[in-house]
Structure 1
Amino acid sequence: MKTKTAFHNTGYALGCGSLLAALVYFFASNWGALDRWQKLTPLVMLVIALYGLYVYLASRPHRQFLSRLSLLSVNVTFGVSLAVVGQTYNSHADSYVLFLIWFVATIAFAIAVRWQPFYVLAYVLGHLAYWLAFFPTIGSRDYADGIVILIVSALALLNGIIYVLSSSKRLPSPVIAFLSYTVGMGIVILLSNSLAFEAYYVWFNIVFIGATVFLIRRFIRSVNQLYLLWTGLLVSIFLVMKYVELLFHFEAAEAFFVTGLIFVGLFIWGGARWIQYVRSLAAPEDAGDKVERSGINARDMIIRALTVTVIAVGTLIGTVTLIGFILLVTEFDHPEYVLSGIGLMATLSMTAARKLNSVVRYTLLAIGLCIGVGTALVADQAGLLPIYIAATAIAFYSGKSFAERALWFAGTIVIAGLSLGQQLEDVKLTLTILTVAMPVLAWLHRFIRNPELGRALKMCGYYAFLLIFFALTFAGEHYAYDGLYALTLIACIALAHRADESAAYRFTLVLSGLFVAWKYYDTAWKLLHKSWSLALIGFVLIAVTYIAERRTIKAERAEKPAAGRSRLRFLGITAVVVAQLLVLSVQIGRSETILASGQTIYLELLPLDPRSLLQGDYVELRYTVSAPPASFTQNEPHIGRKLPVVIARTPSGVYEFKRLYEDGTTLQPGEAVLNGKWNGYRIEYGIESFFVPEGTGIETQRKAKYAEIRLASSGNALIVALHETAP
């Protein structure tokens, strides 16, 4: 019953997500057939309706998931509404303020509901607000390297604080703890790159090494396998980056390749020993256990990820270093024979060395395969390819886990594909043959007595079939392939669900989402068409899920009945929704006041054509009044300082820069005050963007020469229209 409940929740979540995506697409298209009230009124009503749905579902038994999902939809709709208000009144496209307001509302919901999706959404929105505050998409702000380092370092420090709070249970979200730890350490790794940050990289190398040593000791004391393994993964990334840096600094000299061979050996040995050590620990309950109880075996996933990473990274740098050593350090007359011999020797010896540590064995085997197969393809030694195919097949047979077997199954298919492609010289035909062959391989599991080996062959054939078929839809370049693949995915989802194959079901579901998302952007459809189709998909998913749920045999559900609703929590949620509606009302009212009573002025402009993250296509504007006066070169104001600018009407009806406004001065007839801010290069007035229907930006850029502005007595302005000629 638990599986069926998860299936129903997944259906509802996917349907709701499709409807919300349709909403975003619809308003991002900026459909010209709707006026501003026809855009804004339905959004406000939708926020109220979704809140009402939450109130209803929260009082119903067994509807805790749907009530939370409806509240999450309220919050997402609020974010879309903020974007649409800015789009409708053509003001502050992609502003960090939008994300900051949305972030505050999401944090309030997270505190009230304590549901992980709210925490994750708040984390993402907070990072977007922070980043866009310093690096907005409107205009450009160039910072010195030191300032950029300071901004990014502060973000890493902020993630460190979030990690401390969440890992100490003050912030009840193990997911946020994991994200903040990963992002914080990732930023430090990025800043330690000597090729990009020559003046500061040493300090960040020291910070990363020091933090890693401190945290590893902490994780060992708490026996936290999840973070120990993940730290090993981050250290692997760090070491690979150091290897690349050394490659550029040494300019591929002989000393580099000699040192590189030692580095590769230590990396493979250290990775194998680290995995073996962490797996030997008996872990108490930690964040990883909580994730496991939710249905995800986090430790096993990280062990597999780290194992694959060590093998992949060791193979990559080992292959490059060994080939470079043979070609540049030694002086063989025919290095291709030497490389081929090394490839064969490593492949055959590691295939036979079954008692060797699996990480070391498989890394050396992969290095031998890469060198041997690469040499065979380049040096016309195709006759050796069957040997390498047999070696990977034997490695698959002798594998100790599904992850190892999956790795060698993939290697077998890749080598076979390369061999087949070299002979046929037709990518489409090669992929077709492999696509047809995979179900046959999966079917052969029926004749294998070893159950683990048989299941590995079955699942690897299944996964490979879907992935190769996915690649074929791109090589085929025909809608018939897309349609056939879509039908195949639907059938596979149904079969996996019926057979209770949870791993295959999740894999196919994720692949289906990737396929739909990729093909959406691979077609010529506009956002409006995508909106309609996504809405249809959403309604169908919800309807099918509801029917399936109704037909489920009545029994005690795995989910506990909803507890009595806390009055204080309910009042808090209600207060947040009311605050959201007030924010929207204030924004709309303020803009409508300016449009109704503001002074009409015209400014000359220079348009560009970018795209907003949330709000669709818009024309980015540059005004002649944005150019700083000559006096700024002597007394330049601080960046971000408010600058009231006096603009004056010219005989043509267009306003031009006159002077900076000073308190107490009197405006002359035909003059007005326009509020701006100095950004270091020019004055920005908050009217640097004008939203247009999708696909019309280029035409607007070509024709528009003047902007019609409504100017309030306070100096704030809104764009009304763009014109080809002066008034």
Structure 2
Amino acid sequence: MAERVVKTGYLLGVSLLVAAIIYFFAANWQGFDRLTKVALSIGMMGLFYGGGAIVAYTVKRHRFLSHWLFVCGAIAFGISVALIGQIYNSHADSFWLFLIWLIPSFFLAFITRYPPLRLLSMLLLQLTFWFYYFPSSYQIERSEWESFVLLLLFAVSNAAILVISRSTMAYAAYVAMHSWLFVLFVIGITEEKFRFWPYVYALLFLALFYFLKRRSYVLLTGVFAGAFFITQYFRFVEQYFQEWVFFSGLLLAAAIIYMGALLVRRTMKRSSSSNTTSASDEKGKVFIALFQALVTAVTSSLVVSSVMGLIALWTNDFSPYVLFSLAIGGFVVPALVWRNGNKVVRYTLLAVGYMLGAFSASGVSVWFLVGYSVALAGLFFRSTIGVRIMTAVALSVYGATIVSHWTDDFRFMLLAVLLLNGVLYTFSKSKYERIVFLSLSFGAFVLMTTDIVDRWDVLFHLLFVATLFGFLFFQKAPYERAVAWGYWWLFFVWKYYEYAWDLLHKSLTFSLAGIALLIVTALFEKRKQLVFTEKSIFRKKGLLIVIIALQVAVIGYMAFSKEQLLTHGKLVKLELVPIDPRSLLQGDYVRLGYEISTVKNVNARGTIQVILRKDEAGVYRFVDIYSLNRKLYHADAYQTGDVLMNGKLNGDTVIYGIESYFVPEKTGGDVQRRARFAYVRVSRTGDAILEKVSDR
């Protein structure tokens, strides 16, 4: 108990400090100059790496803390690279940011074999792929086969990691592989590319289901197969919207139920024959329950959409009371009465009834809805676990709908969901029920900490954090603590993208809370005189020192080269048009589109160097192309006084690397309204860096 409390306290404190640092730099506070920020970022890396080394070699009973600080050092390097991009207005969320971050993180993970570093490397690899294909600050038009090969390459890369990995990272690689295959499928149907892929994708699913033996892989494959079937179905609905499509949806749901039952039996038989575990063990039961839930989710979605589609075709004005009655009499009652029937069929009927009821709940009398909810609550404790879980979800929706009749504040609707599931969690004895009820409770709770600033907001924040801390410190059940940890990390993401409270203020609050937690935890540990035994990850110390030194050198070189360009580059005034988003790590920025970004009568790909010439108003305009793919194009158009600027040509659009201008938090709108021109420094070799934007 005491060991868990100490480790939890240290991890909470460290996570609060890391979040505070990210929030602080993302706020883009103007109180520090450029070089001071760079020095702070390097000092931050030194603090974490140095702190980890000091703890590792002076207080050996704290090896777990030294390991965490080492991971924070790897994260701090990424924050420093992002900060360089923010300070010098490089591309927001550029894939280069994540690639530069990935390389040392990969080697650190390889040397130490520490799972958090492996997970960080896997995440950075996916972010590198994502922002290479989907850049956030500009658009790229790709050919059909270029898109196909790139996305397939991303999937194959993860498949290679899956093959060579012997750790739990294999599951992450498998999920990432399927995610990219699914992205390939979605891009194909939305942009009408590679029309053959859905057929290949379907055959791939069949092959995987046939050859896979491990239950976890079968379950993960089922998740993506379900998403594939649902997407394909809605694609046909959009194209045709006819009766035969909706009846086909009902037949497809029946086929999925039948095939799912066969697959479960086959997988359990293969698993038991391969001397893993018997079909009656705990893992087997969990697999069956999860697979039944997956099949129920897919088939109920198909049935509900088919029923709603048929109703839309057959009637012009359908009463919500009729739909609600159909949901109860046609689906809920048969599912509750048919106790000995096939579980998946029964769960599907129940899910369809609850979903149809949810769609029509807002249109029926509140007292009718209250009576129905009371009846479901009365049947709740006499039902099986699966029925109770589904009924709890339905009662959460109905309860929120009932509360909406008395208040427009959605936080109190969520409060009803929180209280209902909190009570069910308290009295439930089933491990799986408790996990679901706890997840629903925390989900409602975190959504209550939203953008509305009033006394309720403060109260909800305090209660949420206090409840979360209570679970993290004192809950013994590992799965329930895992749920709490998941919402703790989600809370940081939620607060980052929330605009009601400034990032700078959040950073200050998190830093103070983190320091306080670390102090209290250290005092508690000293009082208990605990000793922790954990194997050190610091093998090959010389290589680790070299990697850390290279990280510092990279940050220093990036800052030095940018400063040289700002100091010695020629100042060029350009006309622009901006918009305003928020970066993943770097804070608010204005996305810039330049008048010189469009090149007429050219449609090519590759590196380009353009000729810019100053007009009477002092604005530099595009004149011609000097070189294309390192070959002279119209070099004779260059005149004395002109400026050559490098870029990348994509069709008829040039990307110069100056399309992002980072601003202090909540000032993007003002910059967007007044910005008409950008002032850019251009070196003799044509490299450009954005210095400022202005209205004149």
Normalising by structure 1, we get a TM-score of 0.81
Query: In the superposition, relative to structure 1, how do residues 272 and 562 fare at CA in structure 2: closer, same or farther (>3 Å)?
Result: same
Q: Structure 1 residues 372, 649: closer, same or farther in 2, change over 3 A? A: closer
Alignment of 1:146-161 (within 5 A): 146-161=145-160
Q: Say which SS state the counterpart of residue 616 (structure 1) adopts.
A: coil
Q: C-alpha deviations, 1:132-180, integer Å up to 9, x for none?
A: 33432233222344443333233223222332232xx3xxx422x2223
| Higher Rg | 1
Counterpart amino acid of residue 75 in structure 1: A
Identity, in percent, stands at 26
Maintained 8 Å contact 2:626/2:644: yes
SS in structure 2 at match of 1:608: strand
Determine the structure 1 residue equivalent to 2:82.
83
* The one of 223, 228, 232 aligned to 1:238: 228
Would you say 1:641 and 2:572 are equivalent positions? no
Unmatched 5+ residue regions in structure 1?
446-450
Q: What corresponds to 1:205 in structure 2?
A: 198
Verify: 1:348 aligned to 2:348, yes or no.
no
2:9 to 5, 8, 11: 11
Give SS of 1:200's match: coil
Amino acid aligned to 1:247: V
Distance 1:604 1:408, change over 3 A: closer
Could you tell me how far 1:107 is from its partner in structure 2? 0.8
- 1: CA distance between counterparts of 2:324 and 2:92? 57
Seen in structure 2, the aligned counterparts of structure 1 residues 323 and 28 have a Cα distance that, compared at 3 Å, is: closer
Counterpart for residue 28 of structure 1: 26
Q: Is residue 327–residue 352 contact of structure 2 (8 Å, CA) maintained in 1? A: no
Query: Offset of 1:109 from its aligned partner?
Result: 0.8
Q: What is the identity, as a one-letter code, of the residue corresponding to 1:407? A: M
Quote the offset at 1:498 in angstroms: 3.7
2:556 matched residue in structure 1: 585
Q: What residue number does 2:219 align with? A: 229
Q: 1:498 to 1:284 in 2, by over 3 A?
A: farther
Deviation string 1:679-702 (CA, Å, 9 cap, x unpaired) is 332444333433332333343344
Question: How much does 1:525 deviate?
Answer: 2.4
Whole-Å separation in 2 of the counterparts to 1:665 and 1:476: 61
Q: Secondary structure at the match of 2:190?
A: coil
Q: Give the conservation status (yes or no) of the 8 Å contact 1:78–1:580.
A: yes
Amino acid at match of 2:220: W
Instruction: Give, as a single letter, the amino acid of the residue that structure 1 aligns with 2:579.
Output: D
Deviations, residues 484-503 of structure 1 (Å, cap 9, x unaligned): 56236515643774463444
Distance 1:321 1:547, change over 3 A: same
How much has 1:337 moved relative to structure 2? 6.3
Find out whether 1:310 has 2:303 as its counterpart.
no
| Match status 1:219 vs 2:212 | yes
Q: Deviations over 1:449-475 (max 9, x none)?
A: xx947x888887766665556666669
State the AA in 1 paired with 2:607. Answer: R
Q: Which residue pairs with 2:571 in the alignment?
A: 601
Q: Does 1:613 align with 2:598?
A: no
1:572 aligns with 2:543: yes
- 1:678 pairs with 2:679: no
Equivalent of 2:510 in 534, 552, 565: 534
Q: Greater CA deviation, 573-582 or 421-430?
A: 421-430
The residue aligned with 1:185 is 178
1:545 aligned partner: 521
On the 8 A contact 1:229/1:278 being kept in 2, the answer is no
Inter-CA distance 612–478: structure 2 relative to 1 (3 Å threshold): closer
Amino acid at match of 2:391: W
**Cα deviations by residue, 1:78-115 (Å, 9 ceiling, x for unpaired):** 11111222222334443322221111111111111112
- Structure 1 364/70 Cα, relative in aligned 2: closer, same or farther at 3 Å? same
Q: 1:269 aligns with which of 253, 258, 264?
A: 258
1:164-206 deviation digits (Å, cap 9, x = unpaired): 232xx3xxx422x2223223223334444575254523x2233
- After superposition, residues 111-190 of structure 1 pair within 5 angstroms as 111-166=110-165, 169=166, 173-175=167-169, 177-190=170-183
- Equivalent residue number for residue 448 of structure 1: none
Q: State whether structure 2 residue 392 is matched by structure 1 residue 409.
A: yes
Q: In 2, distance between residues paired with 1:332 and 1:649?
A: 65
Change (3 A) 1:130 1:623: same
**Is the Cα contact below 8 Å between 2:576 and 2:594 reproduced in 1?**
yes
Aligned mates of 2:127, 2:476 — CA distance in 1: 39
Cα distance, 1:710–1:237 mapped onto 2, change above 3 Å: closer
Read off the aligned partner of 1:538 and give its amino acid letter.
G
Name the stretch that deviates more: 154-163 or 571-580: 154-163
The DSSP-based 3-state class of the residue aligned with 2:579 is coil
SS in 2 for 1:90: coil
For 1:50, the equivalent position in structure 2 comes to: 48
Secondary structure of the structure 1 residue equivalent to 2:65:
helix
Instruction: Return the match for 1:255 from 244, 249, 272.
Output: 244
Which residue identity does 2:254 align to in structure 1? G
Q: What is the CA–CA distance in structure 1 between the aligned matches of 2:668 and 2:323, rounded to whole Å? A: 59
Query: Quick check: 1:608–1:701 contact (8 Å CA) kept in 2?
Result: yes
Distance 1:689 1:424 in 2: 42
TM superposition shift of 1:603: 2.0
SS of residue paired to 1:103? helix
Distance 1:531 1:680 in 2: 43
Question: How much does 1:353 deviate?
Answer: 3.0
Give the superposition deviation at 1:523: 4.8
Change (3 A) 1:298 1:540: farther
Give the 3-state SS of the residue equivalent to 1:605 in structure 2: strand
The structure-2 alpha-carbon separation of the partners of 1:274 and 1:331, relative to structure 1 and needing over 3 Å to count, comes to: farther
Alignment equivalent of 1:715, drawn from 679, 686, 692: 686
Maintained 8 Å contact 2:648/2:654: yes
What runs of 5+ residues in structure 2 fail to find an aligned partner?
none
1:282 alignment partner, SS class: helix
- Asked if structure 2 preserves the Cα contact closer than 8 Å seen for 1:311 and 1:362, the reply is yes
**Which deviates more, 116-125 or 313-322?**
313-322
What do residues 198-235 of structure 1 show as CA deviations (whole Å, max 9, x unaligned)?
A: 4523x223322332233334322xxx111122222222
C-alpha displacement of 1:387: 6.0
Alignment partners' CA distance in 1, 2:596 and 2:368: 72
Alignment of 1:128-527 (within 5 A): 128-166=127-165, 169=166, 173-175=167-169, 177-192=170-185, 195-196=189-190, 198-201=192-195, 203-220=196-213, 224-251=214-241, 253-279=242-268, 281-282=271-272, 303-322=288-307, 324-325=309-310, 340=325, 343-344=328-329, 346-371=331-356, 386=371, 390=375, 393-394=378-379, 396-399=381-384, 401=385, 404-415=387-398, 418=401, 445=427, 452=429, 478-480=454-456, 482-484=458-460, 486-487=462-463, 489-491=465-467, 493-494=469-470, 497-498=473-474, 500-511=476-487, 513-514=489-490, 517-518=493-494, 521-527=497-503
Q: Is the alpha carbon distance of 1:415 and 1:646 closer, same or farther for their aligned partners in structure 2, counting shifts above 3 Å?
A: closer
Structure 2 CA distance, aligned partners of 1:33 and 1:475?
A: 26
Give CA-to-partner distance per residue, 1:506-533, whole Å, 9 cap, x none.
4344445545654564452222222212
Deviates more, 1:309-318 or 1:485-494: 485-494
Question: 522-531 or 67-76, which moves further after superposition?
Answer: 522-531
- What's the CA shift for 1:579? 0.8
Superposition deviation, residue 573 in structure 1: 0.9
Please list the CA deviations of residues 400-440 of structure 1 after superposition, one character each: whole Å capped at 9, or x if unmatched. Answer: x4x55333333345445556766999977776667666666
Partner of 2:663: 692
TM-score after normalising by structure 2 = 0.84
CA deviations over 1:316-371 (Å, ceiling 9, x no partner) = 32234345557757999999769836742643343233332322222223334545
One-letter code of the match for 2:98? Answer: F
